[in-house]
């Protein structure tokens, strides 16, 4: 197929890939939390995400996420994905997707009367091929604020912010979500979220999605994460997330 028709065929799936860049924001949910990795600790995810729209399917996976507690209340963040896009009625394209860098910083700690609060700015680097529909073509940014409060086995968190995207055909948009989850013993946690965002493309529409999911702890250092959901208004999205998670570090520093 000539290059220009191929680009026109794959371009409708770029919004799906941009959404996939957000799917692992707060594994396994779209909504994130303000809590960074403990000082000198690390966590790694090997994961896959999916988004089905009227224009086709977009999948990230296998992908890898790495977080490290570099300073007190400060976490470095990196995601490197393999991306696959399949336009409706067309052939799939697979290759390196856009990489993600971020810094999570918590500036308010949780107390009996107040939630913890943090920021998590991220930049999506144009490492994926925009010509093949595997990337944005330019660096773009997300600037959110997140809050969290816990009570016994219950935890709730949420917030939102603005995405800044100057790539051709893309636009800036607001986003936000809220989540409630409960620990069902030491191994299983289940929760649900509502997440919404504005239109991210010129001529596009925003959406509101509902996701259900959680995680199962095989050990304190190894877990399975999962979620699935769909949009309930706006653009059609059917979403899923599945990951294996490892964590480690000097326990005496994190939990004296």
As given in the structure block, the two tokens for residue 155 are: 């935890």
| pLDDT greater than 60 at residue 17 | no
Q: Is 218 exposed, middle or buried (0-12, 13-18, 19+ CB in 10 A)?
A: exposed
Residue 234 exposed, middle or buried by CB count within 10 Å (0-12, 13-18, 19+): middle
DSSP annotation of 7: H
pLDDT, tens only, 116-128: 999 999 999 999 9
The pLDDT of residue 95 is above 80: yes
A 10 A CB-CB count for 209 gives: 24
pLDDT in the model for residue 142: 97
At 256 the pLDDT is 31
Q: E strands, 6-54, where?
A: 42-53
Tally of CA atoms within 13 A in the half-sphere of 115 that contains its CB: 16
The span from the CA of 94 to the CA of 84, in Å, is: 4
Predicted local confidence at residue 116, as pLDDT = 97
Residue 28 preceded by cis peptide, ω within 30 = yes
- CA dist list (Å): 120 to 29, 34, 105, 168, 177: 15, 7, 6, 25, 14
Rounded to an integer, the average pLDDT of 201-229 is: 95
- Of 14-18, 66-70, 143-147, the least confident: 14-18
> Which tokens hold the place of 73?
């209340």
| CATH T-level topology, domain 3-249 | Lipocalin (2.40.128)
Which residue, 148, 130, 147, is CA-closest to 139? Answer: 130
The more confident residue out of 64 and 89 is: 64
Please report, in angstroms and rounded to a whole number, the separation of the first and last CA atoms in the chain.
61
Residue 50 is predicted with a pLDDT of 94
Give which of 5, 67, 31 is closest to 194, Cα–Cα.
31
pLDDT value of position 19: 53
Query: pLDDT class for 23, splitting at 50, 70, 90?
Result: very low
Domain ranges of the chain: 3-249
pLDDT of residue 49 exceeding 50: yes
Per-residue model confidence as pLDDT tens digits over 138-183: 999 999 999 999 999 999 999 999 999 999 999 999 999 999 999 9
Separation of alpha carbons 177 and 148, rounded Å: 12
Threshold 0.75, pTM exceeds? yes
- Omega prior to 206 cis, within 30 of 0: no
Nearest one of 90, 51, 28 to 207, comparing CA atoms: 51
């Amino acid at each position: 197929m000539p290059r220009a028709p191929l680009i026109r065929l794959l371009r409708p799936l770029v919004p799906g890939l941009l959404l996939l860049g957000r799917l692992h924001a707060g594994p396994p949910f779209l909504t994130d939390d303000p809590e960074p990795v403990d000082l000198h600790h690390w966590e790694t995810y090997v994961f896959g995400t999916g988004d089905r729209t009227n224009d086709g399917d977009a999948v990230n996976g296998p992908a890898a996420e790495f977080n490290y507690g570099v300073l007190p209340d400060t976490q470095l963040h990196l995601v490197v994905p393999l991306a696959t896009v399949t336009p409706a009625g067309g052939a799939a394209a697979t290759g390196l997707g856009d990489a993600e860098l971020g810094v999570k910083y918590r500036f308010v700690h949780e107390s009996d009367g107040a939630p913890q609060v943090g920021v998590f700015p991220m930049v999506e680097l144009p490492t994926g091929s925009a010509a093949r529909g595997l990337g944005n073509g330019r660096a773009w940014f997300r600037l959110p604020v997140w809050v969290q409060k816990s009570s016994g086995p219950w935890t709730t968190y949420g917030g939102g912010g603005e995405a800044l995207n100057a790539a051709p055909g893309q636009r800036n948009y607001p986003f936000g979500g809220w989540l409630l989850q409960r620990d069902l013993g030491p191994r299983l946690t289940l929760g649900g979220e509502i997440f919404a965002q504005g239109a991210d493309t010129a001529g596009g529409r925003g959406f509101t999605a509902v996701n259900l999911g959680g995680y199962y702890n095989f050990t304190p250092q190894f877990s399975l994460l999962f979620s699935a959901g769909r949009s309930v208004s706006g653009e059609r999205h059917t979403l899923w997330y599945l990951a294996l998670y490892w964590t480690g570090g000097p326990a005496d520093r994190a939990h004296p």
